[in-house]
Each structure stands twice: as C-alpha cells, then as structure tokens.
C-alpha cells in the first residue's frame, strides 16, 4: 500500500492523507457477508438509510466544508451537494417502490404469476471528483436499498469527501460487510472493475473510461454495468425577447462548477447575425462573475478546476481551438500559474474545420452560428455524445421541434442544460452512457426481476401428444 494525499486546489494545502486500499480484502469481505444484508426486510434497510440521512443532516456543515475545500467549489454549492445526499434517501425509497414493486397476476389452473426483484450481490461504485458525495451516493443508496453490498472507490482526487461519506454509512448501522471502502488511484480502480468477486459496476466518469470498461465487461455479460458518462452539450438560443434571461442561462449552463459538470453547456448555437446583443449581455454578466476560493467573501460564482493538470489541459484545449481558426470572443486566462483558477472563455468556432468532438471539462463555451433552426438542430446533434441539450425560445412550436429532433437524454426548455432533478431519470445516449439511466431509475440496475409461476397445490395435465391409456 502507498500513501494517497489530497490537496486543496484553491490553496495547495494538504487536506487529507491515507493509505491505498487492499482490493482483494475489501471485495472478499463484501462477498463473504452481503447475504446477511440482503435477507433483511426492505423496511429495515430503508430505516438504516433514513438514519444515514439524519446523520448527514446533523453534520452537514462539516461535510460541506470538506467537499468545498477538496474540490474548490464554492461553499454554497457544496452545501447544495450535501442537501442532495440527504434527499437521495427519500427519493430512492420512493423509486424502489415504483420501479421494483412486487406484482401478482392470476394464471391457469389456480396458479399465480409473481414478479419480485433480487439484488445482484456485490456492486462496485467508482466515484468522480466533481460531485464526490452526491454522484457516488446516487449509486450507493439505491444499491444498498435493493440488498446489495457495495465496494466504493472514491476518485483519487477527492478521497477525503469519499471517506466522510463512507463513515456516515457505517455510523448509521450499515453492516461492515455491506459497504467497503477502497482508497486509491487508477490501478486500484482497474483492479476493482476487473475483480471476479463483483457482480457489477456502477461508474460515473469520462466517456473514454466508460468505453474501456464496456470493452472490459464484454466477456462477462452476467455482470451489470451502468455507465454515466460525459457530454458535449448544445445550448440553442433562438428568437427570445428576454436577452438578459437568455444570457443568464448561457452563463449558468457553461460556467457553473467551473464548467466541471457533465451537463454543462459546451456549444452555444445561435442564428447567424443575431448573436451580438446576446454576447454583449453575457459579457456584462461575466464581468461581474467572481472566481475565487470556496470560503471567500463575497462568495464566488465559481472556483478553480480540480488541479493544475486539469487547468493545463483545459487551457491547451482552448489554445488548440484558437490555432485551428477559432476567434476568442472572451479570452480564457489563468491568473496564477501555480493554482488551477481559470477565467470563463468563449470561442467562436463557426469556421473551424474538423472541430474536435470532445468534452472540454472546464469553463469554456464554443459559439456556433447557423442559418436556420433546422441547421441549429443539426449542429446540436453533430456530436457522438447525447447527454443534455437545451433550447431558449418563447416559441412552443420550436421547442416541440427541438425536443423531437435533439438526440439527448435530458432536453430542457428555457432552462440551463445542467438542470436535471434527482426525482427523474438521468442519463444519455450515444457515448454518454449505456442506456442505464440513474437518479430515479437507478433502482432498475440495482436489482433484477424474477418471474415465478406459483401454486399452493401441484396440478398438471397433458392435453395432447399421449397415447390412450
């Protein structure tokens, strides 16, 4: 085992230090004891998780402080993430009842057909760094409710947040065999995903990593694989009279969480020749946007990206667009080369040839000008991804056309691209996922249906194909 250290991106200070985990030991412990958790009545498991929500609520300020310091996101945003962790329990209990209920139907000869759901067994959860509590929790809670054991590996960039979340499950009374923690980097993540002792993997992360996992799991179709991946999300602004509201939606879509949400708007699509007033209003808002550390006063709108490597990658992607012929409408800057703060950037890429279809995970928006609304829909769909899309327009007819034509799992109207609620399904098409939507539909991949034809007495006849007695 080696040392794993977490540093605060806003300050560079060390936040957490610990050892990497033993994958074999943690999976083995879950494998040996998960059946005891699975055989508990559902209401017992639900009550344990309600207790978990109460414990998180009692320590919400402490939890939010850890998340803010470790990710660099503003404290107000970290508090919202903790609220989502708490709310996930009630939502998941409701979802379990609606998505995986027991059903009975009358059958022939006095029999009944019963439909029930069973847990898979041991499920691994690999968490991301941008929402180090909310997103893994969105897998862990429904998995535990269904009766699975969970082996949780947080992102190596946010181990402190992952450890705090894990400890609250233990504090609530989730048995040691039902939830295990593996700290570590990519090697530990690969080892968890490849371990023969898991019955499935629930993953949130990049499309590239998701594709690699999909290939890895191709030879084990008996294991469930749920992928929640990234997006190159379009935001279309078209014929709207409220330019300030539209500009606000652009800023929220593109720059919330320093652009580190999989649902952030990456491509702004507008009618050619009408972009001037919108961009002017966006610029006015960005002139007022505060980029700062989590606890700064006044509170920042956005913090740094996760680390210096990420900042360098985003800045390099921005510079590559300029080198290809993109026009910087709002230059991206890095005020302090020693820290991963970036200012919001906007690049007109309308005339860029061979525009890269990549998720640039940072505060960068690409402007695309088109001639008509059909071209806007075509531009929105000009991507391998298909997570989120949004249109800002006062025309219900245009929204209906956009909804019908846009290829995405989340399609919004007059709202930011990053506005998906937890009490609805969340997932994408294309390379944004593998048709395993999470959030309210997470119950679907945490248990499998079992059909049973049942009769209290054995009754059977063979009506054809027998010789006379």
Answer yes or no: are the C-beta atoms of 152 and 178 closer than 8 Å.
no
Check pLDDT > 70 for residue 162: yes
Residue 189 has pLDDT above 80, yes or no: yes
Per the omega criterion (within 30 degrees of 0), is the bond before 298 cis? yes
Q: What proportion of the chain, given as a percentage, has pLDDT over 70?
A: 100
Pairing of strands 388-392, 410-413: parallel
Distance in angstroms (rounded) separating the CA atoms of residues 139 and 444 = 11
- pLDDT for residue 425: 96
Burial 389-412 (b: 16+ CB within 10 A, else e): bbbbbeeeebbebbeebbbbbbbb
CB 250 within 8 Å of CB 283: no
Pair 15, 160: CB distance under 8 Å: yes
Contacts of 424 (CB under 8 A, 6+ apart): 439, 440
Please give the helix or strand (H or E) that residue 285 lies within, else none: helix 275-288
Catalytic residue of the set 228, 275, 281, 359: 228
Confidence bin at 1 (pLDDT 50/70/90)? low
Query: Which pLDDT does position 469 carry in this prediction?
Result: 77
Q: Is 262 a catalytic residue?
A: yes
Q: Please check whether residue 428 is in contact with residue 385, taking contact to mean a CB–CB distance below 8 angstroms.
A: yes
pLDDT at 424: 96
- The verdict on whether 446 is a catalytic residue reads no
pLDDT confidence of residue 420: 83
- Token duo for residue 16: 């957490």
Residue 233 has pLDDT above 70, yes or no: yes
pLDDT at 107 over 90: no
In the chain, what are the domains? 3-229+433-454 (3.40.605.10), 233-413 (3.40.309.10)
Tell me the pLDDT tens digit for each residue of 268-285: 999 999 999 999 999 999
pLDDT of amino acid 456: 87
Instruction: Report the 3 state secondary structure along 142-186.
Output: HHHHCCCEEEEECCCCCHHHHHHHHHHHHHHCCCCCCEEECCCCH
Tell me phi and psi for residue 302, to 5 degrees: -145, 155
Place of tokens 């991507």: 383
Task: Give strand pairing partners of 411.
Answer: 389
> What distance lies between CA 469 and its chain's CA centroid?
65
Which band of pLDDT confidence, cut at 50, 70 and 90, is reported for residue 50? very high
- pLDDT surpasses 80 at 108: no
143-157, 372-386, 414-428: lowest mean pLDDT where? Answer: 414-428
Among residues 237, 281, 244, which one has the least CA distance to residue 389?
237
Q: Read off the pLDDT of each residue in 224-229 and give the average, rounded to a whole number.
A: 97
Across all residues in the chain, what is the average pLDDT? 96
- Mean pLDDT value across residues 159-164: 98
| Helix residue ranges, H only, 14-133 | 23-38, 42-58, 60-71, 75-99
Count Cβ atoms below 10 Å from residue 168 Cβ, excluding itself.
22
Each residue of 327-354: pLDDT tens digit?
Answer: 999 999 999 999 999 999 999 999 999 9
Cα atoms in the 13 Å half-sphere on the side-chain side of 334:
20
Res. 267: pLDDT tops 90? yes
Sign of CA dihedral 267, 271, 273, 277: negative
Residue written as token pair 């001037």: 276
Distance between CA atoms of residues 214 and 199, nearest Å: 15
Q: What is the mean pLDDT of residues 57-70?
A: 98
> What tens digit of pLDDT does each residue of 411-460 get?
999 999 997 888 999 999 999 999 999 999 999 999 999 999 988 888 88
Of 8, 81, 262, 359, which residue is the catalytic one?
262
**∠ at Cα 102 (98, 107), nearest 5°?**
130
């Amino acid at each position: 085992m080696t040392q794993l250290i977490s540093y605060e991106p806003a300050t560079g200070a060390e936040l957490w230090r610990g050892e990497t985990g033993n994958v074999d030991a943690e999976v083995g412990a879950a494998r040996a004891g998960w059946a005891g958790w699975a055989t508990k009545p559902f209401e017992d498991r639900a009550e344990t998780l309600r207790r978990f929500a109460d414990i998180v609520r009692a320590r919400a300020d402490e939890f939010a402080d850890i998340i803010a310091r470790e990710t660099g996101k503003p404290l107000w945003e970290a508090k919202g993430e903790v609220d989502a962790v708490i709310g996930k329990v009630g939502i998941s209990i409701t979802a379990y009842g609606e998505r995986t209920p027991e059903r009975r139907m009358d059958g022939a000869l006095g029999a009944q057909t019963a439909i029930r759901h069973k847990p898979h067994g041991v499920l691994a959860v690999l968490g991301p760094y941008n929402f180090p509590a909310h997103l893994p929790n969105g897998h862990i809670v429904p998995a535990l409710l269904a009766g699975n054991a969970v082996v949780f590996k947080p992102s190596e960039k946010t181990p402190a947040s992952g450890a705090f979340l894990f400890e609250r499950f233990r504090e609530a009374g989730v048995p040691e065999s039902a939830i295990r923690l593996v700290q570590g980097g990519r090697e530990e993540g690969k080892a968890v995903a490849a371990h023969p002792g898991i019955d499935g993997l629930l993953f949130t992360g990049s499309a590239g990593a998701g594709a690699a996992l999909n290939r890895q799991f191709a030879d084990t179709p008996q294991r469930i694989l749920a992928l929640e991946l990234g997006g190159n999300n379009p935001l279309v602004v078209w014929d709207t009279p409220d330019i300030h509201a539209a500009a606000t939606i652009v800023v929220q879509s593109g720059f919330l969480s320093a652009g580190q949400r999989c649902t952030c708007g990456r491509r702004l699509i507008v009618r050619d020749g009408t972009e001037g007033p919108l961009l002017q209003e966006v610029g006015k808002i960005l002139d007022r946007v505060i980029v700062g550390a989590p606890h700064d006063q006044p509170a920042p709108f956005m913090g740094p990206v996760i680390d210096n490597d990420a900042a360098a990658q985003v800045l390099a992607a921005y510079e590559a667009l300029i080198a290809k012929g993109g026009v910087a409408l709002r230059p991206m800057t890095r005020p302090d080369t020693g820290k991963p703060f970036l200012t919001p950037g906007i690049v007109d890429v309308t005339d860029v040839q061979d525009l890269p279809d990549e998720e640039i995970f940072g505060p960068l928006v690409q402007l695309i000008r088109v001639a008509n609304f059909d071209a806007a829909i075509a531009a929105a769909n000009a991507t391998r991804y298909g997570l989120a899309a949004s249109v800002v327009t006062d025309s219900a007819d245009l929204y209906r056309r956009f909804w019908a034509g846009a290829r995405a799992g989340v399609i919004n109207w007059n709202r930011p691209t990053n506005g998906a609620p937890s009490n609805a399904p969340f997932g994408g098409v294309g390379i944004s996922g593998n048709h395993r939507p999470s959030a309210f539909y997470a119950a679907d991949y945490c248990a499998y249906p079992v059909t049973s034809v049942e009769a209290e007495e054995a009754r059977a006849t063979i009506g054809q194909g027998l010789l006379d007695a």
